[in-house]
Amino acid sequence: MGDMTVSTPPRVLTVAGSDSGGGAGIQADLKTMLALGVHGMSVIAAVTAQNSVGVQGYWELPPEAVRAQLDSVLGDIGAQAVKTGMLASPALVELVAEALDGYAAPLVVDPVGVSKHGDSLLAPEAVETLRTRLLPVATVVTPNLWEVEQLTDVKVEDENDLRRAADAILRLGPTWALVKGGHLPGEPVDLLTDGTTEHRFTAERLDNRHTHGTGCTLASAIASHLALGEDVPGAVAKAKAYVTGAIAHGFPLGAGIGPVDHGWRQR
C-alpha cells in the first residue's frame, strides 16, 4: 500500500446554466474551481446555445430535473460552498432557494440578469422571486450595476453611489453585498459590505475586450475560497486577484468577445 494518503479537496457546487462556448456559466465555474484547487460539481438549470457573438437560444430544464440533481449532489457528496448563476424562471429560483435554505454552507449568488451582449437571461417575473426568495438566504450577492438597478431600482452614476446600492441590496436579506463597479468610468472599484464593515477593491482597467465569463468566474472563485476556509473579505480579495489575471490573459475566440483565461496561472 505504501504511505500515500489521498485527501478529498473541498467540494463546491454550482447551480447555473451551461454555456456551449465554454467561457461562462457552468463551464467557467468548473474551470475556476479546478484552477483554485477545489472539486467542482454542477446542477444544470438551463442549456444555452451561445458563442462569442451572443446567445442564440436557451432552454430551461424541468424543475424536477434540477431538483433531482440538487438532491443527488447534496444528499450524497455535500458541498463546502454553493454558487448560483443563471436560473432563468421563477419556478427554478424558488426551487433552488428552497433546497438551499438552511443548508449549512456559504451561498454565493450571482444574480445573472443580462449577458455581456445585453441578452436578457432572466424572465422579468423571476426578478421578484430572486429578490424575495434567494437573496435572503445568500451569504454574498455579486451584482453588477445593471443587476443592482434591476433588483433595487438604485441607479449607480459614480463611486459615491456604490454604498447606497450595496445597502439597498442588503435590505433584501443577504449577509454581504459585493457591488461590482467595473462599468463606471475611471478606475474600477468593487464595494463589499455587510452593513458594518466596508471593503473597497480596486484593480487597474485592463485594455482587453475578451472578458466573457467574468461574473461567473468571480462568483465561483469567491465560493472556492470560502470552501478553502477564507472569510468573506479574504475570499473576495483572493477571487479578485484570480479574476484580474484571468481578464489580463483573456483571448480572442470566434468573431466576437473571447473568454477570460481560467488557466492563466498554469500557463
Active site residue 211: yes
Q: Which of 31, 83, 116, 180 is catalytic?
A: 180
**Pairing outcome for strands 11-19 and 39-51:** parallel
**Listing from the earlier edge strand, what are the strands of the sheet with 189-193?**
54-60, 39-51, 11-19, 81-84, 107-109, 140-141, 176-180, 189-193, 198-202
Active site residue 142: no
Q: Which of 211, 240, 244, 258 is catalytic?
A: 211
Active site residue 180: yes
Q: Which of 213, 240, 244, 258 is catalytic?
A: 213
The distance of Cα 120 from the centroid of its chain, to the nearest Å, equals 16
Q: Which of 139, 142, 152, 214 is catalytic?
A: 214
DSSP 162-203: HHHHHHHHHTTS-SEEEEE-TTSSSS-EEEEESSS-EEEEE-
Q: Which of 85, 215, 250, 258 is catalytic?
A: 215
DSSP summary character for residue 132: I
Q: Which of 40, 216, 238, 240 is catalytic?
A: 216
Cβ-based neighbour number of residue 234 at 10 Å: 14
Active site residue 23: no
Active site residue 173: no
Active site residue 202: no
What is the spatial distance between Cα 107 and Cα 105, in angstroms, rounded to a whole number? 6
Residue in the block written with cell 469567491: 222
Active site residues: 180, 211, 213-216
